[in-house]
């Protein structure tokens, strides 16, 4: 009896230390409390060796544009710091300066420049330097130049009554695949096999009609201080759920419970028919 009480108390403090509890009206136990001095009998002071023994990473899914992995044995404060760094402090290359030579489309210059800046560029930022403060021109080690030159014209072969713009006009949709890389200085020698282009070819930049044209030159730089430089579409983390059923669930209730979760989470065992 006394041992059982002590066991239950220990389970209670373990839950208080390790688990965030989802109550009916709110979340409990959110803050980390396992600091030295809070719990007598627990070794809470920082020990690198104990951390390394208890820490592991399991990669769940790795695809073209997604990576999902579990980190076990690390506190939410550090995991959150990693998430914040991924979103805001990993540099990429993005269009910073747009030199507009001719823009007769209905998209205003500044709106067009803003849209061009948000297009993700396939270029390894480790190959480039940061631009020096106050340097307006840009050199070949810190700048990537792209050109977008496109003119819309009428299709003489189109049928008289058609109203489909795909048939009536040439080049009326400006996509990111129309952006071409213009090597600066010795970039052709530095990057002989490089293929610098936007990550996605099918990003619609603007719409044109016959007689309208866009002729711009873009300078991409390496940076972190704007959302366009964020390398991730998003980075997020969540705590691993730990579900404990308090009572055995049988028959139809068990099947209903199984349906609530993704297939494979709950397995129904057949006992006594």
Partner 1 sequence: IQADGTDGNCVTFVLHDEDHTLGNSLRYMVMKNPEVEFCGYCITHPSESKINFRIQTRGALPAVEPFRKGLNDLMGVCQHVLDTFEVRLFLKSS
CB of 258 to partner 1, least distance (A): 30
Closer of 63 and 251 to partner 1 (Cβ): 63
Closer of 14 and 52 to partner 1 (Cβ): 52
Q: Residues in the site for partner 1, rule: CB under 8 A?
A: 32, 35-37, 44-46, 48, 51-52, 55-59, 62, 69, 71, 74-75, 77-78, 80-82, 84-85, 88-89
Closer of 55 and 101 to partner 1 (Cβ): 55
CB of 236 to partner 1, least distance (A): 15
3-state secondary structure the chain: CHHHHHHHHHHHHHHHHHCCEECCCCEECCCCCCCCCCCCCCCCCCCHHHHHHHCEEEEEEECCCCEEEEEECCCHHHHHHHHHHHHHCCCEEEEEEEEEEEECCCCCHHHHHHHHHCCCEECCHHHCCCCCCCCCCCCCCCCEEEEEEEECEECCCCCCCCCCHHHHEECCEEEHHHEEECCCCCHHHHCCCCCCEECCCCCEEEECCCCCEEEEEEEEEEECCCHHHCCCCCCCCCCCCCCCCCCCCCHHHHHHHHHHCCCCCCCCCCCCC
Closer of 24 and 62 to partner 1 (Cβ): 62
Closer of 71 and 184 to partner 1 (Cβ): 71
CB of 48 to partner 1, least distance (A): 5
């Amino acid at each position: 009896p006394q041992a059982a009480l002590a066991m239950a108390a220990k389970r209670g403090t373990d839950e208080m230390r390790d688990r965030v509890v989802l109550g009916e009206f709110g979340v409990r136990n959110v803050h980390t409390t396992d600091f030295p001095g809070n719990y007598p009998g627990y070794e809470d002071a920082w020990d690198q060796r104990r951390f390394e023994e208890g820490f592991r990473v399991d990669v769940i899914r790795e695809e073209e544009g997604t990576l999902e992995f579990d980190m076990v044995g690390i506190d939410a404060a550090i995991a959150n710091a990693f998430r914040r760094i991924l979103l805001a402090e990993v540099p990429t290359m993005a269009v910073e300066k747009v030199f507009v030579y001719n823009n007769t489309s209905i998209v205003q210059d500044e709106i067009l420049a803003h849209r061009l800046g948000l297009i993700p560029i396939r270029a390894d930022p480790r190959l480039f330097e940061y631009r020096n403060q106050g340097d307006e021109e840009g050199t070949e080690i810190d700048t990537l130049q792209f050109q977008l030159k496109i003119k819309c014209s009428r299709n003489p072969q189109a049928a008289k009554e058609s109203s489909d713009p795909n048939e009536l006009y040439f080049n009326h949709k400006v996509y990111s695949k129309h952006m071409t890389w213009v090597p600066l200085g010795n970039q052709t020698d530095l990057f002989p096999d490089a293929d610098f282009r936007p990550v996605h070819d099918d990003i619609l930049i603007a719409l044109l009609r016959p007689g309208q044209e866009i002729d711009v030159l873009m300078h991409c730089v390496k940076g972190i201080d704007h959302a366009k430089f964020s390398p991730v579409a998003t980075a997020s983390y969540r705590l691993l759920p730990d579900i404990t059923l308090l009572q055995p669930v049988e028959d139809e209730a068990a099947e209903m419970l199984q349906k609530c979760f993704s297939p494979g989470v709950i397995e129904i065992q057949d006992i006594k028919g």
